Amino acid sequence: MTEERQQRIASVLSKRQVNITVVLDNVFDPHNISAVMRSCDAIGIQEIYVLTNMVPKHKKWGFRSSRSASKWLDVHQFTDTQKCFEQVRSRYSTILTTHLSSNAVSLYNLDLTRSVALVFGNEQYGLSEEVRALADGNFVIPQVGMIQSLNISVACAVTLYEVFRQKTVAGHYDLPQLKSEHCNELSNQWGLYDKNLF
Amino acid sequence: MTEERQQRIASVLSKRQVNITVVLDNVFDPHNISAVMRSCDAIGIQEIYVLTNMVPKHKKWGFRSSRSASKWLDVHQFTDTQKCFEQVRSRYSTILTTHLSSNAVSLYNLDLTRSVALVFGNEQYGLSEEVRALADGNFVIPQVGMIQSLNISVACAVTLYEVFRQKTVAGHYDLPQLKSEHCNELSNQWGLYDKNLF
């Protein structure tokens, strides 16, 4: 590995966040999952949760493609809702869903600097009742247009960049957050990928 | 038209903005254009510019689909760069592009409450030299990940929601902005669409 490449990996790892994750509840379209992963990588999310108990389990999201972010993330796949959320709950203080409901608050009124898991649902059916019941709150992305929905990858990106904006102001990117053990492990793993491809 | 429908249209029109637009410079994929249109509709952009002099001219972006936002926008199509930007320049004070370059500023350091046209380029080639030369400035969406690019529809949505956030704080959605003539014209036109479909 060249020194430049080593520095690049170290720089990215120094920005990875420990108190923010994304949970995808039965998102169907692999393109949407790929787009979500790219947005996660872009703002420094290291681990995400992919729950599939109502849609087929996903394969490796084009791991070999230079544009696939799955190789830069720890992706936890679950087929059991309770087990998935047990793990999420053990690692994150607050679980927030996004679906239309009367008790939803605006994305821009959330404190996204705290420890939080953000849950996005299926393109057509949204979130299951079971998942809603496991969450602590619900938010919406405000909209003033005729069409009252956003594509899931767009909704996720808008949400994650509000996370990024708030965390930047709060200084969360100023100091490394990953444990050194995890960091070394990722550094070794990423170093093995062909630098000409990725 | 039911009263409810009428009120809904009036409410959306009262939030439409006059000093913000999007220019798509040879964006190739119709899905990306559709996604951009939905984001525009969502934050209250009324008119957009679609320039195609290096990719085939687009058809009507699934006008009849309930998810197509093209019917809620004034879409100006151009095949000539200079003519396109002449019109943009005559209506907006500042033209900002987004591409990687040394003089780029962060999205979050822009004042997006002023009169501005935001230009996004082709998925593969970005923006042409000609278009770059016509712009007043260039911005980037900050990223801290291994993959250093975002999908164009994601990049546009993230940018537009920062516009939305800033404009909300500045009170731009508190008072109607469209001229009453334009508003009535759109109201009549939108009223003709089948409310069961859209």
A34 in reach of chain B (CB within 8 A): no
| 3-state DSSP of chain A | CCHHHHHHHHHHHHHCECCEEEEEECCCCHHHHHHHHHHHHHHCECEEEEECCCCCCCCCCCCCCCCCCHHHCEEEEECCHHHHHHHHHHHCCEEEECCCCCCCEEHHHCCCCCCEEEEECECCCECCHHHHHHCCEEEECCCCCCCCCCCHHHHHHHHHHHHHHHHHHCCCCCCCCCCHHHHHHHHHHHHCCCCCCC
Which of chain A's residues have a Cβ under 8 Å away from the Cβ of B108? Answer: 165, 168
Is B85 an interface residue toward A (CB < 8 Å)?
no
Q: Which residues pair with A116 in a beta bridge?
A: A20, A94
User: Contact B69/A145, CB-based, under 8 Å?
Assistant: yes
B56-85 per-position pLDDT tens digit: 777 766 555 566 889 999 999 999 999 999
Mean of the pLDDT values across residues A184-190? 94
Q: Which of residues 35-54 of A touch B (CB under 8 A)?
A: 35, 38-44
Instruction: Report the 10 Å Cβ neighbour count for A171.
Output: 9
CA distance B150 to A123: 21
Q: Which residues of B23-55 are buried (b: 16+ CB within 10 A; e: fewer)?
A: bbbbbbeeebbbbbbbbbbbbbbbbbbbbbeee
Listed residue (A166, A17, A125, A59) closest to B162, CA to CA: A166
Across the range A174-194, mean pLDDT stands at 92
- Residue A30 vs residues A66, A121, B45, B105, B148: alpha-carbon distances, Å: 16, 13, 29, 33, 20
Please report which helix (H) or strand (E) contains residue B75, including its range. Answer: strand B74-78
Q: Which two tokens stand for residue A122?
A: 């299926």
Residue of chain A minimizing CA distance to B143: A42
Proportion of chain B above pLDDT 90, given as a percent: 74
Task: Tell me how far apart the alpha carbons of residues A122 and A100 are, in angstroms, rounded to a whole number.
Answer: 13
Tokens at B182, concatenated: 């334009």
Tell me which of A29-43, A52-66, B174-188 is least confident: A52-66
Query: Which residues share a beta bridge with A47?
Result: A74
C-alpha closest to that of A135 among A84, A67, A170: A84
- Among A157, A109, A141, which residue's Cα sits nearest to residue B42? A141
According to DSSP, the residues that pair with A125 across neighbouring strands are none
CB contacts of A40 in chain B (<8 Å) are 145
Contact B157 A157 (CB under 8 A): yes
Q: Pick the more confident residue, A172 or B196.
A: A172
Question: pLDDT category, A121, cuts 50, 70, 90?
Answer: very high
pLDDT for residue A20 is more than 80: yes
C-beta atoms of B157 and A162 within 8 A: no
Q: Please state whether beta strands B20-25 and B47-51 pair in parallel, antiparallel, or not at all (unpaired).
A: parallel
Residue A139: pLDDT band (50, 70, 90) is: very high
Please report the pLDDT score of residue A195 as a whole number.
64
State chain A's mean pLDDT as an integer.
91
Are residues B12 and A146, on separate chains, in Cβ contact within 8 Å?
yes
What count of other Cβ atoms lies within 10 Å of the Cβ of residue A47? 19
**Nearest-CA distance B49 → chain A (Å):** 18
Name the token pair of B160: 């537009």
pLDDT of A128 > 60? The answer is yes
> Is the CB of residue A121 less than 8 Å from the CB of residue A29?
no
Hey, is the C-beta of B98 within 8 angstroms of any chain A C-beta? no
Taking the C-alpha atoms of residue A124 and residue B130, their distance in angstroms, rounded to an integer, is: 42
Give chain A positions within 8 Å (CB) of B162: 161, 165
Q: Predicted confidence band at A63 (pLDDT cuts at 50, 70, 90)?
A: low
Percentages helix, strand, coil for chain B (3-state, rounded to 5) are: 40, 20, 40
Whether A55 contacts chain B with CB within 8 A: no
* A49, A22 Cβ separation under 8 angstroms: yes
pLDDT over 70, % of chain A = 93
**If you average pLDDT over every residue of chain B, what do you get?**
91
A5 chain-B contacts, CB cut-off 8 A: none
Q: Is B36 helix (H, G, I), strand (E, B) or coil?
A: helix
Residue A64 — pLDDT band, cuts 50, 70, 90? Answer: low
Q: What is the ipTM, given to two decimal places?
A: 0.91
pLDDT at residue A1 in the model: 74
Average pLDDT over residues B41-59: 90
Q: B9 CB near a chain A CB, below 8 Å?
A: yes
Which run of H or E residues covers position B21? strand B20-25
